[in-house]
Structure 1
Amino acid sequence: MGAEPASATGRRARRRALRRAQPVPARPDRSHHRKRHHRRHLAARRRVARRRRGRCRRRNGDAGIHRDADASRSDLWRGARPHLARVRHHQRARRVPQSLRRPRAARGDCERASRRPARLHRRRFVRRGGVSIGSEPQLDAALARATLLGVDFMTLRGRLGGRLESRLADYAHGHGLRLTTTEIFPAMAFGFDDLNVPLRQPYHDVIDVVAKSGLAWTPMLATHLGLVTSIEHDRTILRDPRLSMFPPAIAAAYRAMANARNETQGLEAAFKPYRDTVKAIVLAGGRVVVGTDAGTNAVSPVEAPYGLSLHVELEQLVASGMTPFQALQAATLSAAEALGVADEIGTIEPGKFADLVFLGGDPLQDIRRTRDVRRVMRGGRIYDASLLGVPQQAPR
């Protein structure tokens, strides 16, 4: 008899039996590799945890001091890191209140902040003389206080949010007050009157909006590198005898800046975008107003004292492309209109205050001749420039 064909089941069973009969090679023991990887993983996690706890301990009480004139809300958000609730407060270290030195950021807050952006608890940081607003009741209280004091105008530094900014604009315009801000969006969205902020290389649509909105824009070139640039190109500013009327620390600071050649080589390149923006807005038909922000911190290299900053601002506006006539108009008529007092000052007309300055040359030919002040008329009374720096006996 012939052999019967093997079924498929039989063939599979035979193959399994053969595999079992063959010796199975021993697998290498990799347990030590797994243990080493596990130890490295745990060590890495412990290092991350230690760094996170260290940041919380180190920065829970650090205000991140950075000297600056003011701090807008956008600056504060840029100063806050994603992994901790930290605030960069733009003021002197000795003036930072204790509440800012120890923010409300416990270890759990830091760990939660690592998974989402840090919150600033709706705090607003203001300069001396300002009011901190973080809620609707606080805004109502501040507006009520402003009504009692009879303020002339209001300035918003930073952002309050659309709802509060809209209420502030309605109140100011309802009471006939001028409203200024350092932020572009609320100035455009809620009809603010003035925009006081330097613009460095903005988008073309921003230039068009600022120019066509009718806002009075104050570029403050002297405050932002303008004075340092002027001193670098014209050392006669340091030899002006009127500089001695300021505290000695101010003159010393400017002389030190002038001698720091290695630090001022790139001033022209850094300052050029500000000038280009002024030229673009003027060519687009914008309203430029002279303002210096003087008196806030005159010893700082980025700020300027009274008087000197005004002359530097005029010179920088002309260097930016404005004519001397346009610069003088921005310091007189346009400035008076921006303040809402054009019916009292700004031009020489009957019925206005007789406040005049007599110069020794024609500023339309050279804007630097505005420094050559010979006489000043204040309220119709003439004062000689040689006597302005001499202490006068008070009238009895």
Structure 2
Amino acid sequence: MSRLSLFAFVLACTTACRPSPKPASPAAAVSEGATSPASGVPPRAASGEPARREAVETTVFHLHKFLQRIGVERDTYTRDGAGEIEAKASFGFQDRGSQVTLAASFRLGPDGMPRDYQAWGRTSRHSSIDERITQEPDGSFTHSRVGEAPVHAGAPAASVMASGYAPLLAQDLMLRAWVARGRPATMTLLPAATLTIETRGKHEHEVEGKRVTLEHVSVRGLVWGREDAWLDDAGKLVAVVTRDAEFDHFEAAREGFVALLPELVARAGADGAAWLSEVGQSALQGPAGVVALVGADLVDGTGRAPVRDAVVVYDGDKIVAAGPRASTPIPPGATTIDVSGSTIIPGLWDMHAHVQQVEQGAAYLAAGVTTVRDLGNILEFVTGIRDAIDAGAGLGPRILVSGIVDGDGPRALGTVRIKTREDIAPVLDRLKRAGCLEVKLYSSIAPSLVRAIAEAAHRRGMRVVGHVPEGMRVLEAIAAGYDGVSHVTFLFEPLFAPGEAAKLSREARGRRIADADFTKPPLAQVIRTFASKKVMLDDTLALFELLNHTADDNARREPGLAKLPRELQGLFDGSSPEQAALDGAIFDRFLALVGELHRAGVPIVAGTDISVPGHSLHRELELYVQAGISPMAAIQAATSVPARLMGLQAQVGTVEPGKRADLVIVKGDPIADIRAVRKVTRVVARGRMYDPSALWRIADFVP
């Protein structure tokens, strides 16, 4: 899930990632006689099928991430003499230097119904799959997944088999079955999940000079939230716009249709925003017009002491009064809402977000997050959602876009690239036109270009933030013009000589971090430099906590894990029990350094890198308090501090007259116990009040 550079990824592996067995290549895995790891038998040998097979169809999908082509899937269909179809997928791509390969095989009866399915390999850089669904003689099915007890299920008429976004073969078969069965509203995803599929209309597109009509459908229940797919007039899959197992944008198109992907991505974003706005009407709570919230304590985000028994009045999207009840008049005709026993705080900010899907908007609002800073996305996708929300046609927090830019090489990400000095002006002009407030530099940018990029960005009124490029040190990046750094892990990089970390054992790397002394060089110099230059840090502590502790520990630390949608459950394996002691010690140094930086005057802002959507922002604030930061300052790190750093302090970030009506009402007192920020009872975004429970349900979370 995290979007780390090479150094940060090395540190993450040092602190968290368990090595996974390397899967066989898809081509080898699906060849005759290969064995499935889940079953231990040749994939088709157990079926007793005839040896002679007839080729029926071959389909090639081109795989993309952030609209950058990264790999290919080849699907083959063969028929035996009894009419059974065997369909095989060979799926593989390169992602930032890592090879992701997966193999899958289906057996379909003469009626087209699934009989058997198995998939094994990797679904992302950090996740793997090994499962099988087999039809029993009585027509029922057994689902087997490595590490889990088998699950038996009946055989509903409208049932399909798939393991998420990959392979595309599963989605193709799923949608062919949907068309063949008359486009039912729901189908069963074996063993017991429900897919909801609806058509979103047919549209004409130009492909290689010809006009073709494609049907746009949305699928819910396969991945978290909506997935968009397009079918040709035969009901076969043409393209998919979805997310992979890291929450990253993932797109695929059948050969001959790749040029359509940018258009389809934009259509998916606009359609998703419109859909979310429609269903979001059910979450609206409270009247329009002038509203007075009465009786709560007020923590206004300025740092002033809480106001007891306060009144906050807003009219439309503006706050018109805020203060003690005794001295704050309520306008005639205002609707009064008693919120006694609660605390009103400003709308929260997540300063390291990636809005990869529209459901995230509902989850953020449910958690009281009314502004997010998107630090890496498909530009057309995120700006489309941003603009829809700003125009009142979408549901979600305000989105501040930082345009992600990378360089060249096998680890590069996205399609916006700066490879030479000549690229700088046109790329930055494009980002400026798109309304980006910042340039986020990623890991493959050439260090020699950083200063020139920063100078050009600053001339355009844009900040420069992000990862420290490979081959560059964090202090060098600051000297070259960085305004902010993402991920606390980069600050530990000076503990290692150039190239040294890769030569050390995992334990040796981790021990050096765990034993780091902040009072001595080089980390003392890092702290002084961040403090003297007021360089912002979005540390993403909540993410690293999930990576550095066992799954059981994470469940105790982050209650949001128990509320995840089915498709996201088990997403964070965390550290292994064998590595947990060292990994925990390393995380403790991450936590301690953030506390030291805050005390030195470094601007710390709360950001999650998605992690557990919505919930991890609350955990970030809890971790700040553990690091020795006061609850008041922790709340400011997610309200007034980011508003000031982003130049929006005149509009938002505090509860004061004239500011935008972004408010969160929580039960209890977060100054006495920061955990009260989790107890959101009402959210006001742009002057519209929402019921958090309804928003969580829209996002498929348990409220």
> How far is the alpha carbon of 1:223 from its aligned partner?
1.6
* Cα contact 2:450–2:477 (8 A) shared by 1: no
Aligned to 1:367: 674
Q: Distance in 1 between matches of 2:556 and 2:588?
A: 22
1:48-72 Cα offsets, whole Å, 9 max, x none, are: xxxxxxxxxxxxxxxxxxx962335
Greater fraction of residues in strand: 2
Q: Distance in 2 between matches of 1:74 and 1:278?
A: 16
**Structure 2 vs 1, CA of residues 150 and 383 (structure 1 numbering), >3 Å: closer, same or farther?**
closer
* Cα contact 1:324–1:363 (8 A) shared by 2: yes
> How far is the alpha carbon of 1:310 from its aligned partner?
0.6
* Cα contact 2:484–2:535 (8 A) shared by 1: yes
* Cα contact 1:154–1:179 (8 A) shared by 2: yes
* Cα contact 1:187–1:193 (8 A) shared by 2: no
Q: Distance in 2 between matches of 1:238 and 1:162?
A: 38
* Cα contact 1:359–1:372 (8 A) shared by 2: yes
Tell me which moved more, 325-334 or 261-270: 261-270
* Cα contact 1:123–1:134 (8 A) shared by 2: no
1:204-248 Cα offsets, whole Å, 9 max, x none, are: 1111111121111111111213576497557456655x854x432
Q: Which residue among 348, 351, 375 is the counterpart of 2:658?
A: 351
Q: Which residue among 111, 123, 130 is the counterpart of 2:409?
A: 123
> How far is the alpha carbon of 1:363 from its aligned partner?
0.9
Aligned to 1:197: 487
> How far is the alpha carbon of 1:370 from its aligned partner?
0.9
Q: Secondary structure at the match of 2:644?
A: helix
Aligned to 2:540: 220
* Cα contact 2:643–2:649 (8 A) shared by 1: yes
**Structure 2 vs 1, CA of residues 70 and 90 (structure 1 numbering), >3 Å: closer, same or farther?**
farther
Q: Secondary structure at the match of 1:154?
A: strand
Identity %: 28
Aligned to 1:37: none
Aligned to 1:247: 565
* Cα contact 2:548–2:584 (8 A) shared by 1: no
> How far is the alpha carbon of 1:168 from its aligned partner?
1.3
Q: Distance in 1 between matches of 2:9 and 2:548?
A: 24
> How far is the alpha carbon of 1:176 from its aligned partner?
1.2
**Structure 2 vs 1, CA of residues 247 and 75 (structure 1 numbering), >3 Å: closer, same or farther?**
closer
> How far is the alpha carbon of 1:186 from its aligned partner?
4.7
Aligned to 1:102: none
> Given residue 272 of structure 1, which amino acid in structure 2 is its aligned partner?
D
Aligned to 2:686: 379
Aligned to 1:14: none
Larger radius of gyration: 1
> How far is the alpha carbon of 1:262 from its aligned partner?
4.7
> Given residue 481 of structure 2, which amino acid in structure 1 is its aligned partner?
G
Give the alignment of 1:286-301 within 5 angstroms.
286-294=602-610
**Structure 2 vs 1, CA of residues 232 and 388 (structure 1 numbering), >3 Å: closer, same or farther?**
same
Aligned to 2:3: 69
Q: Distance in 2 between matches of 1:232 and 1:336?
A: 36
Structure 1: segments with no counterpart, 5+ residues: 1-66, 77-86, 97-120, 295-303
Give the alignment of 1:19-168 within 5 angstroms.
69-71=3-5, 89-90=96-97, 93=100, 123=409, 125-128=411-414, 131-158=416-443, 160-161=445-446, 163-168=448-453
Q: Which residue among 283, 287, 291 is the counterpart of 2:599?
A: 283
**Structure 2 vs 1, CA of residues 236 and 276 (structure 1 numbering), >3 Å: closer, same or farther?**
closer
Q: Secondary structure at the match of 1:357?
A: strand
**Structure 2 vs 1, CA of residues 144 and 389 (structure 1 numbering), >3 Å: closer, same or farther?**
closer
Q: When the two structures are superposed, what TM-score results if normalisation uses the length of structure 2?
A: 0.36
**Structure 2 vs 1, CA of residues 224 and 90 (structure 1 numbering), >3 Å: closer, same or farther?**
farther
Aligned to 1:264: 580
Q: Which residue among 579, 590, 605 is the counterpart of 1:274?
A: 590
**Structure 2 vs 1, CA of residues 341 and 75 (structure 1 numbering), >3 Å: closer, same or farther?**
same
Q: Distance in 1 between matches of 2:409 and 2:547?
A: 33
> How far is the alpha carbon of 1:180 from its aligned partner?
0.8
1:24-70 Cα offsets, whole Å, 9 max, x none, are: xxxxxxxxxxxxxxxxxxxxxxxxxxxxxxxxxxxxxxxxxxx9623
> How far is the alpha carbon of 1:73 from its aligned partner?
8.4
Aligned to 1:338: 645
> Given residue 639 of structure 2, which amino acid in structure 1 is its aligned partner?
T
> Given residue 208 of structure 1, which amino acid in structure 2 is its aligned partner?
R
> How far is the alpha carbon of 1:334 from its aligned partner?
0.9
1:162-190 Cα offsets, whole Å, 9 max, x none, are: 65222211221111112213222354213
> Given residue 531 of structure 2, which amino acid in structure 1 is its aligned partner?
A
Aligned to 1:50: none
Aligned to 2:141: none
> How far is the alpha carbon of 1:357 from its aligned partner?
0.8
Structure 2: segments with no counterpart, 5+ residues: 11-93, 102-123, 126-406, 469-473, 493-515, 517-521
Q: Secondary structure at the match of 1:365?
A: coil
Q: Distance in 2 between matches of 1:91 and 1:224?
A: 20
Q: When the two structures are superposed, what TM-score results if normalisation uses the length of structure 1?
A: 0.61
**Structure 2 vs 1, CA of residues 196 and 265 (structure 1 numbering), >3 Å: closer, same or farther?**
same
> Given residue 247 of structure 1, which amino acid in structure 2 is its aligned partner?
P
* Cα contact 1:169–1:192 (8 A) shared by 2: yes
> How far is the alpha carbon of 1:289 from its aligned partner?
1.0
> How far is the alpha carbon of 1:337 from its aligned partner?
1.9
**Structure 2 vs 1, CA of residues 229 and 148 (structure 1 numbering), >3 Å: closer, same or farther?**
same
> How far is the alpha carbon of 1:354 from its aligned partner?
0.7
Q: Distance in 2 between matches of 1:359 and 1:165?
A: 43
> Given residue 370 of structure 1, which amino acid in structure 2 is its aligned partner?
V
Identify the structure with bigger relative contact order (alpha carbons < 8 Å, sequence gap 6+).
2
> How far is the alpha carbon of 1:125 from its aligned partner?
3.5
**Structure 2 vs 1, CA of residues 237 and 221 (structure 1 numbering), >3 Å: closer, same or farther?**
closer
Q: Please state if 1:322 is matched with 2:629.
A: yes
* Matched positions, count: 278
> Given residue 270 of structure 1, which amino acid in structure 2 is its aligned partner?
I
* Cα contact 2:450–2:480 (8 A) shared by 1: yes
Give the alignment of 1:170-209 within 5 angstroms.
170-183=455-468, 184-198=474-488, 199-200=491-492, 201=516, 203-209=523-529
* Cα contact 2:548–2:587 (8 A) shared by 1: no
> Given residue 343 of structure 1, which amino acid in structure 2 is its aligned partner?
A
* Cα contact 2:550–2:577 (8 A) shared by 1: no
**Structure 2 vs 1, CA of residues 356 and 122 (structure 1 numbering), >3 Å: closer, same or farther?**
closer
> How far is the alpha carbon of 1:382 from its aligned partner?
1.7
